[in-house]
Structure 1
Amino acid sequence: MTEHPTLVLGATGKTGRRVAARLRLRGTDVRAASRSSATRFDWSDPAGWDAALEGVTAVYVVPPSVPGPVHGFVARAEAAGVKQLVLLSGHGADTWGDSPFGRDMRSAEDAVRGSTLDWTVLRASNFAQNFDEELWHGPLLAGELTLPAGAVGEPFVDLEDLADAVVAVLADPGRHAGRVHELTGPRSIPFPEAVALISRASGRPMAYRQITPAEYTGALVEQGVGEEDAHHVTEMFALMDRGLIAATTDGIATVLGRPPRTFEDYVVRAAAAGAWGR
């Protein structure tokens, strides 16, 4: 095991748990932190940050939906002697204009970039695994996914690729310090095609239906999402519909030295694992 631990925030989440597992397999001492982990970390409770940072040499940062705390956290990390920060951000964050999502992501990025530490920003597109882990999984099982997204494609990134990239950057800070990597899948796929591929692979009838932004916002609020957060999520789809984040990149190949996994690869694996039933 390494002498100093690597702190993984959001360690029970989609990216954090994959990153933590890979680091352990490499022999890295991992300090897994979340609101429900042995090392408790809550963005709304700065009193617990110093304990999480004690003795840490590197941090994988999954920012909160409200970016303000990241600035304070980075200052605490510097004071604690942390050497490296790897921040998860969103694909094309600097093209999102004055949208709430764009402002939030750029604020978190500014906090990291303004530090004295070796920093790297990983801007990821929407995760392929959103179709089988929480976000869009339930609607697909019910037979219909409804979103305010039309014919413009999304270059879904496989979370296995993203986790591999995080670990590669943590292992080689000299190569990646001060860099921003845009991480996407190899092609943009419209939601109707994505759902059709999943339906075919799983053998379950599934449909996609485009709804209006107002309808989607209302549906999120009915599900218990706060109105402001619901508007923020809807704004992301508006940006997608304008094609601002539809382009693919060579970020995965740059970091990992190999092509990204395809969406079809993801669908085959997930269907074989029974993600949408057997």
Structure 2
Amino acid sequence: MAALDGRPLTGGMAENTRNTTVWVSGATGRTGSRVAQAARAAGLTVRAGSRAEGFDWEDASTWAGALRGADAAYLVYPTDVGSPAATEAIGALAREAVGLGVRRLVLLSSRGEERARPTEEALKASGADWTIVRAAWFAQNFSEGPLVEGLRHGELVFPAGEVREPFIDVRDIADVVVAVLTAGDRYAGQELAVSGPRLLTFREAVAEIAEATGGELTYTPVTARRYGDDLAGFGVPPEEVEFLVDLFESLLDGRNSYLSDGVRQILGRAPRDFTDFAREAAAAGTWKA
């Protein structure tokens, strides 16, 4: 069997992919659902990790039953990888996984987020054969999640100014994760950065969505503090608001205005373009009010 970039696979899982069981956290979420789908397509056995399947990040007693018998795991924390809760949970779960024989762990992290480093270090300290995938801002953040409602009503209000971001399609993240999992130990101990193929401002991204939908959409940049006030008005807890304000003030300061070649490096092809994402989501009726 060959890797997606054409090079031969090495290592135990590569030699017997169809007997590999991968536990996928967040299996109903933006990335986890795509990782599960891509893993099944690659011949892996997928064990879904979600509350519906009895797994709870906040209840460590549910972890062993979810992990036992798996060969590898994809880890994505449900809020933000840079939160102190993520550091504690990822470290503890990774140690438990290793103790149960699940040594091959792939963590989704955030490109440019310094707050995520403690969580990454907790994974590394667990004794696992780890790989970290650091992703740029998801294209699907415009089609799944809290930004969708504003776009359905004609306006995106967001604290991104005019910074340029290389939005990545989460399907590319999933393909990279599965390629890493099926490549044996080739990517063990590596930090991989992935992004889309070009830089866009949020204003330009909204304009592309408007063109795809044939409607009129506007982008209104606000300060992170103003955005936090809006979140508080919607009932978001104060500590979460403060975390998000600090996160947006740092992460959306232009530090990610560059491209990463992880998709081409791992998959041997260019990443999906934002225009294609927008057209597909529009055709599916994503932004219809």
Distance in 2 (CA, whole Å) between partners of 1:187 and 1:263 is 8
From 69, 72, 83, the counterpart of 1:55? 69
Corresponding residue number in structure 1 for 2:58: 44
Deviation at 1:205, TM superposition (A): 1.4
Q: Percent same amino acid among aligned pairs?
A: 42
Q: Does 1:21 align with 2:33?
A: no
Deviation at 1:239, TM superposition (A): 2.1
CA shift, 1:270, in A, is 1.3
Q: Is contact 1:152–1:240 with CA below 8 Å preserved after alignment?
A: no
What SS is found at the alignment partner of 2:219? strand
SS across alignment from 2:31: helix
Q: How does 1:216-235 map to 2 (within 5 A)?
A: 216-235=227-246
- The ranges of structure 1 where at least 4 consecutive aligned residues each deviate by more than 4 angstroms after the TM superposition are none
What secondary structure sits across from 1:248 in the alignment?
Answer: coil
1:239 corresponds in structure 2 to 250
Task: Report the alpha carbon displacement of residue 234 of structure 1 after superposing the two structures with TM.
Answer: 2.4
Unaligned runs of 5+ in 2: 1-16, 80-84
Q: Is the 8 A contact 2:95 2:127 kept in 1?
A: no
CA RMSD of aligned residues (A): 1.6
SS of 2:164's equivalent in the other structure is: coil
Q: Take 2:184 and 2:132, find their aligned partners in 1: how far apart are those partners?
A: 12
Q: Which amino acid aligns with 2:57?
A: W
1:171 is displaced (CA, Å) by 0.7
What does 1:1-278 align with in structure 2 at a 5 Å threshold?
Answer: 2-36=18-52, 38=53, 40-65=54-79, 66-67=85-86, 68-93=88-113, 96=114, 102=115, 105-277=116-288
| Unaligned runs of at least 5 residues, structure 1 | 97-101
With the length of structure 1 as denominator, give the TM-score of the two structures: 0.91
Letter in 1 for 2:200: I
Q: For residue 22 of structure 2, what is the amino acid of its counterpart?
A: T
AA paired with 1:24? R
8 Å contact 1:217–1:234 — kept in the other structure? yes
Is contact 1:152–1:241 with CA below 8 Å preserved after alignment?
A: yes
Name the CA distance, whole Å, in 1 between partners of 2:280 and 2:179.
23
> d(CA) in 2 for partners of 1:214 and 1:195?
22
Q: Distance in 2 between matches of 1:2 and 1:201?
A: 39
Q: Work out the CA distance in 2 between the residues paired with 1:20 and 1:12.
A: 9
The question of whether the paired residues in 1 share the 8 Å contact of 2:26 and 2:78 is answered with no
TM-score (norm 2): 0.88
Query: AA paired with 1:10?
Result: G
